[in-house]
Amino acid sequence: MTKHKAISLGMAMAGAAALSMTTGLGSALAADWKPAKPVEFVVMAGKGGGADKAVRYMQGVIAEEKLGPTITPVNKAGGSGAVALNYLKGKKGDNHTIMFTLNSFYTTPLRQPKLGVNIENFTPIMRMAEDTFCLWVNTARKDGNNIKSVDDFVKAAKAAGDKWIMAGTGKNSEDNLLTDFLNSAYGLKMKYVPYKGGGKVAKQLAGNNADSTVNNPSEQEGFYKAGNTRPLACFTDKRIPLFPDAPTFKEIGKDFVYYMQRTVVGTPGMSADAQKYYNDLFTKVFNSKKWQAYRKKKALQGDPLAGDDLMKYWKRERDVHKAMLKKMGAIK
Amino acid sequence: MTEIVYLLLDGFYVAFQPLNLALIVLGCAAGLFIGAMPGLGSVNGVAILLPLTYLVPPTGAIIFLAALYYGAMYGGAISSVMLGIPGASTAVATTFDGRPLAKMGMADKALTAAAVASFAGGTISVILFTMAAPPLAHIALVFGDPEEFALMMLAFATFIGLGGDDIAKTIFSICIGLVLAAVGFDTVSGEPRLVFFDITNFMDGVKFLVLAIGIYGIGEMLWTIEENTRAGGASQLSKATVSLKRTIANLRELVRSWKTMVMGSVLGYVVGILPAAGATPGSLMAYGIGKQISKDPDSFGKGNVEGVIAPEAANNAASTGSMLPMLTLGIPGSPTTAILLGGMVLWGLEPGPRLFSDEPSFVWGLIASLYVANFFAVVLNIAFIPAFIWVLKLPFTLLAPIIFVLCLVGGYAPTQSMYDVWLMLLFGIVGYLMRKLDYPLAPAVLAIVLGPLAERALRQSLLISGGELSIFVDPVNRPYAAFIMYAALVLLFLPLFMMIRRRLTSGKAASTEPS
Amino acid sequence: MTVRTAELVMAIVMGLFSAYLMMKSAELPYGWIPGEGPGGGAWPFWLSAIMLVCCIVMVVNWIRRTNPPSQDMEAFFPAGVLKNSGSVALVLTLVVGLFNGVELGGVTLLPAIGAYLAIFIFMVFYVGVLGRHDFVKTAIFSISVPVLTFLFFELALKIILPKGVTEPLFLPIFKYFGLGGL
């Protein structure tokens, strides 16, 4: 009924006069639940990071195409998402709170059992995409060594031993997992240096303050286009269309595929009707031209996944991460 | 050079389109209000209003947000001066002299100075931006952890003299700020740290705003209530007045401080370009240097108008500076520009080294609108001064509760977490008690801003070097880091050296004197 | 309590706090890790150690009576000050508690009445009781401040404040402005 978005105080007041008052509180039937107030969209990461940008992008799509309610993003970055998970856990049964998660959704509860978070209790809504990872190097290294392939990279990194710096986002994070994989797969001793965000990591490489990174394509995009950095290979099933020259690790004999989920999660105990509402909402967002364009631009992959399928996917991924963290010695 | 002039003229053509001009004014006004709220700064403003920008074309959208950014930087000074509460970390240095001036009944003077200095900072930095973007962008890129750490040391060195008379209490205050900054999560080891009583919320850390609003907002208000009670019930927060004649006199007087303005602007711009540093260290360093070069350094902190001018020029210049790496490299120099960057992607623009050649009308339209936004921000700001003064003249028992409410809501708004409000209240009450016992608290507030940056840069540098401290003073491989580090060491030890020499000579004089 | 006593109490409390911080920091390695630099706990541990030293110096200064607070034999809280500052601090704490309620061991100490009603109560206390303004002024300020807060933060900036039991009252407003679902 009220398709009007309150966009600013002034406009809202002006617009309000034009609205009819015919809709009272109404008897919202259980079958067609819809939000009665703005929806809080918790981001498991800080302002300006990849997840935050995606949330603000979706907020924009929802606002622009008038798909749903007012979305208010709330950033809770602390403790690798521990604060956000704990917050959502405390909002049990709340139908007006949703969260945007990453792979820390699996790793943080595993690493911090004290939180008492069981991700099986959360309500699956929709996986919007899977982000990809590639191995990156600088095209104009200080030592003049022009690294063009994984072979070149292995040779150079071997020679450098533990002087080879691999920059990544956070300790025991996705980037750390991939670095450990490369170290053991190729017999390297690269030193992993954790930074606070993907953008910072990308910059370390472009400024020759690190020797390699395993950034998401979107994080290196600008430097790649300017010819500063180069992807050597990607941790994907198929080659990424944006980088036709970069093989997958599968192609060069190391079967290792790794993705980062970008998923919308509901509070534990959210009502089934609300779950259905958000499911429909994010299906609309997923199918919008804007989101499809964003996916293409950011080299995002992964089909939409919802309901029980999403829960199955979570359980599987959690076990995979558990095994990886154990191997790293991050958990017992 | 002539090419730049033509491009800029084209840019002005874009900026003066009626829609864009309207957006500039709207952005400035909105930013001014958001910035003036304690707790809300440019980050919140830009993040919150980002979705509105779908209604206009991309160029208009970034112009609106850039104007908002500027407006908020101006607005930050308003709460610093009037209430003594810095709305954002960039405005902390403004409180040092802005607040004493307001208490002395010269709030109008401080506000005018802040506006004019912001204008100078904004304009000078945009001129620098127009002339020298690409080479400076390169410096931003090669700036790594050792350089960042050296820069933090330089920032610490410049404001070493800000403490009180009691050395033990001053050092205590610096250290407690640094330790509180370490609460939450250690990025380098990936472990939770100082999570008191295992309360998960502490993993979010202790944020600058929580400490600043606690100490400067709630603590200071409680202290003011005490002072008023002791004085037998003062009725107003400040005996401020304003008139056209006073404003003109103030403006005239400001011209004399042009050197401070230029210094602050250039310094702020350069520091703003450097990633991670941003406007806060820039404004602190400008304050420190402003004190050094001032004719009357002793009056700094007691209400010297130059103490408002230096940081305000610097923080506005830094906000321009931080846009440079965003546009040319796609790296944000501050959280606000990180969100702007996200916005640009949304509008289908691609920040990066090719933006200047691919989208000239966007880039130059933005640059031109920065000039225009500056102009409107200063005009709006000065025009609003009488209104702000009127607010200050409200009876204390009407204004004080409003300030308390603003503190509570402002503490809650950025993270929307009650934990932050409780923490803020605790800092306010403890801060008030400490204040009664002459603990200087400004060093703690500054330390909580710079602490995390310094610790992280130090440890990341040492990881890279394999634990070798020499990475900071290696002029061959790390020339920038070494140069900045030497400068910091000189600044740090100069006052100490001078003091020892003075002691020695006076000691000698004393001993030669017949007793 | 005199200012002199307060100075000693504060130094001891802060000293204990510093020691606690040191203990808490020591949960992570606080030494120098070869090849890596300082461990995760080093930064807060050694800084807290400096804090502790500062507190010891303060106690020494207190014994030697070298700084102004250690010589000040006036009352730390003169009667009027305690009444004004103290009551404001107390009411402020209660008001924050009322935002979302306070519960201790399953017992509700303060009900969650939401930010707006709590702000209203605070304004009534400050303007009416402490400030002794007349009824009209009290009413104007106590009502307009929460209303303006709502308009500015919630409607214009979309920052949602806790509402507790008053939440149902706001739903029609959200509906009116089209902030909920379609």
Residue A153 reports pLDDT greater than 90? yes
User: pLDDT of B71-129, one tens digit each?
Assistant: 888 888 888 888 888 877 888 889 989 988 988 888 889 999 999 999 999 899 988 88
List all residues 6 or more positions away from B387 whose beta carbon is below 8 Å from its beta carbon.
none
**Is A189 among the domain residues?**
yes
**Chain B residues with beta carbon closer than 8 angstroms to that of A199:** 331-332, 338
Maximum alpha-carbon separation in chain A: 75
Mean pLDDT of chain B: 84
Residue C178 has pLDDT above 90, yes or no: no
pLDDT for residue A235 is more than 70: yes
Q: Is A68 on the interface with C (CB under 8 A)?
A: yes
Do A72 and A111 belong together in one domain? yes
Q: What is the pLDDT of residue A139?
A: 94
Tokens (6 digits) for C177: 């402005």
- The mean per-residue pLDDT over the stretch B172-185 comes to 92
pLDDT of A157 over the 80 cut: yes
Interface mutation target, options A2, A72, A171, chain C, most CBs of C under 10 Å: A2
CA distance B370 to chain C (A): 24
Residue A19 — very low, low, confident or very high, per pLDDT cuts 50/70/90? very low
Work out the percent of chain C whose per-residue pLDDT is above 90: 70
Judge: C92–B404 Cβ closer than 8 Å, yes or no.
yes
Identify the pLDDT of residue A120.
94
Instruction: Identify the pLDDT of residue A6.
Output: 37
The pLDDT assigned to B333 comes to 64
Provide the pLDDT confidence category of residue A13 given band limits of 50, 70 and 90.
Answer: very low
Tell me if A27 is assigned to some domain.
Answer: no
CB–CB of B333/B322 below 8 Å? Answer: yes
pLDDT of residue B507: 58
The reply to whether residue A9 touches residue C151, judged by beta carbons under 8 angstroms, is yes
Interchain proximity A78–B201, CB inside 8 Å: yes
Residue B332, H or E segment: none
Q: Find the length of chain C.
A: 182
Tokens representing residue B264 in the block: 């602050």
Task: Give pLDDT, residue B275.
Answer: 66
Counting the structural domains of chain A, the total is 2
Q: What is the pTM of this model?
A: 0.86
Same domain, A140 and A230: yes
Per DSSP bridges, beta strands A71-75 and C37-38 are unpaired
C151, C156, C181 member nearest A35 (Cβ):
C181
Average pLDDT in the C86-114 region?
92
On the question of pLDDT at A121 being above 80, the answer is yes
Of C44, C50, C51, the CB nearest to B194: C44
What is d(CA A120, CA B331) in angstroms, rounded to the nearest whole number? 37
- Give a yes or no: residue A5 inside a domain: no
CA closest to A36 among chain C residues: C180
Give the Cβ contact number of residue C12 at 10 Å. 14
For residue B130, the model assigns a pLDDT of 80
A83: its two tokens: 């604060």
Residue A177 maps to which CATH number? 3.40.190.10
**CB–CB contact C171 A23 (8 Å):** no
H-run or E-run covering A139: none
Interface of B with A in 275-314 (CB under 8 A): 275-276
For B426, counting Cβ atoms within 10 Å of its Cβ (0-12 exposed, 13-18 middle, 19+ buried), the class is middle
Range C69-91 average pLDDT: 91
The Cα angle at residue C84 between residues C79 and C88, in degrees rounded to 5: 140
- Residue A244, Cβ density class (10 Å: 0-12 exposed, 13-18 middle, ≥19 buried): exposed
Structural domain includes residue A241: no
Measure in Å the smallest separation between the Cα of A210 and chain B Cα atoms.
Answer: 9
Q: Is the Cβ–Cβ distance between A263 and A98 less than 8 Å?
A: no
Q: What is the pLDDT of residue B79?
A: 86
Residue B172 to chain C, least CA–CA distance (Å): 5
Using the Cβ of B345 and the Cβ atoms of chain A, whether some distance falls under 8 Å is answered with yes
pLDDT at residue A291 greater than cutoff 80 = yes
Pair of tokens at residue B397: 């028992």
Cα–Cα distance measured from residue A98 to residue B3, given in angstroms and rounded to the nearest whole number: 51
Please write the tens of the pLDDT for every residue from C144-163: 999 999 998 888 888 889 99
B349 falls in which pLDDT band (50, 70, 90)?
A: confident
Q: Are residues A158 and A222 located together in one domain of the fold?
A: yes
CB pairs under 8 A between A and C: 71
Counted residue by residue, chain B has a size of 515
| Interatomic CA distance for residues B193 and B215, integer angstroms | 24
Is B185's Cβ below 8 Å from some Cβ in A? yes
Pair A113, A146 in one domain: no
Res B216 pLDDT > 60:
yes
B402 close contact with C: CB closer than 8 A:
yes
Q: Which domain CATH number covers A318?
A: 3.40.190.150
* B464–A170 CB contact, under 8 Å: no
Q: Which residue, among A122, A121, A120, has the nearest Cα to A42 in the 3D structure? A: A122
* Preferred mutation among A11, A56, A205 to probe B, highest tally of B CBs within 10 A: A56
Question: For A33-58, what is the mean pLDDT?
Answer: 84
Instruction: Tell me: pLDDT of C79 over 80.
Output: yes
Structure tokens belonging to residue A37: 């107030």
- Residue of chain C minimizing CA distance to A97: C160
**A216, A234, A252 — which closes off a domain?**
A234
- What local confidence, expressed as pLDDT, does residue A21 receive? 35
User: Does A282 contact C at CB distance below 8 Å?
Assistant: no
Burial track C38-77 (b if 16+ CB lie within 10 A, e otherwise)? bbbbbbbbbbbbbbbbbbebbbebbeeeebebbebeeebb
- Residue A307 counted as domain residue: yes
* Chain C CA closest to residue B189: C40
> Number of CB pairs < 8 Å for B and C?
186
Q: At C181, is the pLDDT very low, low, confident or very high (cuts 50, 70, 90)?
A: low
Task: Show residues of chain B in contact with C40, CB under 8 Å.
Answer: 186, 188-189, 191, 193
ipTM value greater than 0.90: yes
Please identify, among A234, A268, A289, the residue that sits at the C-terminal boundary of a domain.
A234
The set of chains that have 3 or more CB pairs under 8 A with C is: A, B
Which residues in chain C are contacts of A16 at CB distance < 8 A? 176-177
Q: Is residue A112 part of a domain?
A: yes
Please tell me which of the candidates A53, A170, A221 has its beta carbon nearest to residue B187: A170
Residue A3 within a domain: no
Q: Which residue has the higher pLDDT, A129 or B79?
A: A129
CA distance C152 to chain A (A): 7
Place B369 in a pLDDT band, splitting at 50, 70 and 90.
confident
The token pair that represents A173 in the structure block: 């994070």
- Per-residue pLDDT at A30: 45
Which of B176, B409, B438 comes nearest C153 by C-beta?
Answer: B409
Contact yes or no for C127 and B398 at CB 8 A: yes
Extract the tokens encoding A269: 């105990």
* pLDDT at residue B192 greater than cutoff 50: yes
Whether C177 and A6 lie within 8 Å, measured CB to CB: yes
- Regarding predicted confidence, which is higher, B156 or B333? B156
Segment B315-333, tens digit of pLDDT: 889 888 888 877 877 766 6
Query: Which stretch of DSSP H or E encloses residue C33?
Result: strand C32-33
Q: What digits encode the pLDDT tens for the residues B251-297?
A: 888 888 899 999 999 999 988 887 666 778 888 889 988 888 888 88
pLDDT exceeds cutoff 50 at A269: yes
The CB density around residue B104, as the number of other CB atoms within 10 Å, is 15
State whether residue B32 sits within 8 Å of chain C by CB: no
Does the structure show a pLDDT above 70 at B429? yes
Is B394 an 8 Å CB contact of chain C?
no
Please tell me the least confidently modeled range out of A122-126, B160-164, B230-234: B160-164
Question: Is residue B65 within 8 Å of residue B50, measured between CB atoms?
Answer: yes
Q: Choose, out of B198, B203, B357, the residue to mutate when testing the contact with A (most A CBs < 10 Å).
A: B203
Q: Which of B350, B352, B345 is nearest to B325 (CA)?
A: B352
**Across C129-139, average pLDDT:** 93
Domain around A161: 134-234
Contact C160 A38 (CB under 8 A): yes
Chain A residue numbers touching B338 (CB-CB < 8 A) = 47-49, 199
Using the 8-state DSSP alphabet, how is residue A96 labeled? Answer: T
**Which pLDDT belongs to residue C92?**
95
Asked if A200 is an interface residue toward chain C (Cβ–Cβ < 8 A), one would say: no
pLDDT at B21 over 60: yes
Is there a single domain that holds both residue A172 and residue A123? no
Q: For an interface test with A, which of C157, C166, C179 has the most A Cβ atoms less than 10 Å from its Cβ? A: C179
DSSP 3-state of B434? helix
State residue A9's pLDDT score: 37
Q: Looking at CA atoms only, how far is residue A163 from chain C in angstroms?
A: 11
Same-domain status, A275 and A226: no
Does residue A193 lie in a domain region? yes
Query: Average pLDDT, stretch A125-154?
Result: 94
Same domain, A196 and A106: no
Query: Which residue of C6, C83, C161 is in closest CB contact with B409?
Result: C161
**Domain stop point among A218, A234, A250:** A234
Nearest to A191 among B275, B353, B463 (CB): B463
| pLDDT score of C1 | 87
